[in-house]
Amino acid sequence: MIGLPFVYAVGGAIFLAYAAMSATDATKPKRWGNAAFYALLATSFWFGDLLGDSGNGLLVLGLVLVAGLKQMGRGARATTSADERREEAARRGNRLFLPALIIPAVALVGTLAFKRLPEWFDVKQVTLVALTMGVLLALAACLAWLRDRPLVPLAEGTRLMDSVGWAAVLPQMLASLGAVFALAGVGEVVGGLAEGVIPDGSRFGAVAFYALGMAGFTMIMGNAFAAFPVMFAGVGMPVLVGIWSGDPVRVAAIGMLAGFCGTLMTPMAANFNLVPAALLELKDQNAVIKAQVPTAIPLLIANVLLIYFLAFP
């Protein structure tokens, strides 16, 4: 059955290629740092399930050391010039879009089709499997059409990967921090604090504390998934449902989305906010956050009002 192991096998191979391309790039001042970082990620993809919990912990420490000691930089391997690209874009025309569209098209068709083949595919992971197949197909189509040597896409991929750098693993790191928080009982402590802070007899105060707390905690943890169990157990359940007889499903559903407003406003949500800024080569690494705050704040207020008016039937 094709599932995550297939996805991780391809992922590991590509990260290993990033490592090899980094190690052999003489123009890269910090090439060994980059090579080590990508090699550790390749190891995680390929052998993560065999390493054991402590082994994976050591692997993470290795990633933290490379990034923390500032051992990562960007390569300067030659690519095409702006003029060459303009000339080729004019010559190849709109056909250039086709290989780029193979990836979303295969992801879309695969997601819908693979679900009907449960004996062949892991139904829960069809989108990631289809995405991976889309990448492989697009890569094959590009190589056949553009006639580059197979190393060229790997070098170009490494160039883009270098612009993301250590930020690539921050989301995975934060997810792991959430697990440690759960183990340490941070949720219970925050919940205890909340009950002392909300003014007595104010349903609106309780709703606002819940929604704003969800967004605020999401900004610190970089992820609404980490904030939700804490705020729902601490405030949503005991106060909004317990005291004010709110509908637990509506309190939960809209509360989670209040958390998503926090995701739009924090650099800790690296994969949504810092990685795009790096990929787009923006001068200000917080430019994406700045573009989102004017949407996030009114939407957070809208969520407070939605909980207030909809969650107490």
Partner 1 sequence: MWVLLGIAVIVAGFVLRFNPLLVVAASALVTGLAAGLDPLEVLAAFGKAFNDARYVSVAFIVLPVIGLLERHGLQERARTAIAALKGATVGRLLIGYLFLRQATSALGLTSIAGAAQTVRPLVAPMAEAAAEKQGAPPGEDKVPALAAATDNVGLFFGEDIFVAIGSILLMVGVLQGFGIEAEPLQLALWAIPTAICAFAIHAVRLWLFDRRLAKMAPPAKGDGA
Q: Which of 55, 76, 197, 202 touches partner 1 (CB under 8 A)?
A: 55
| Integer Cα distance of 131 and 114 in angstroms | 12
Residue 119 CB partners (closer than 8 Å, separation 6+): 1
| Integer Cα distance of 229 and 213 in angstroms | 12
| Integer Cα distance of 215 and 221 in angstroms | 10
Does 180 sit near partner 1 (CB under 8 A)? yes
Does 114 sit near partner 1 (CB under 8 A)? no
Does 64 sit near partner 1 (CB under 8 A)? yes
Does 1 sit near partner 1 (CB under 8 A)? no
Rounded to 5°, the CA angle 219-284-266 comes to 5
Quickly count: other Cβ atoms within 10 Å of residue 227's Cβ.
29
Site residues for partner 1, 263-292, by CB under 8 A, read 263-264, 267-268, 270-273, 275-277, 279-280, 282-284, 287-288, 290-292
CB of 53 to partner 1, least distance (A): 4
Q: Which of 237, 244, 308, 312 touches partner 1 (CB under 8 A)?
A: 237
Crossing angle for the helix pair 97-114 and 126-146, to the nearest 10 degrees: 150
Q: Which two tokens stand for residue 212?
A: 């704003």
CB of 94 to partner 1, least distance (A): 7
CB of 26 to partner 1, least distance (A): 19
Does 9 sit near partner 1 (CB under 8 A)? no
Q: Which of 51, 74, 243, 244 touches partner 1 (CB under 8 A)?
A: 51
Instruction: Note the maximum CA span of the chain.
Output: 71
Does 71 sit near partner 1 (CB under 8 A)? no
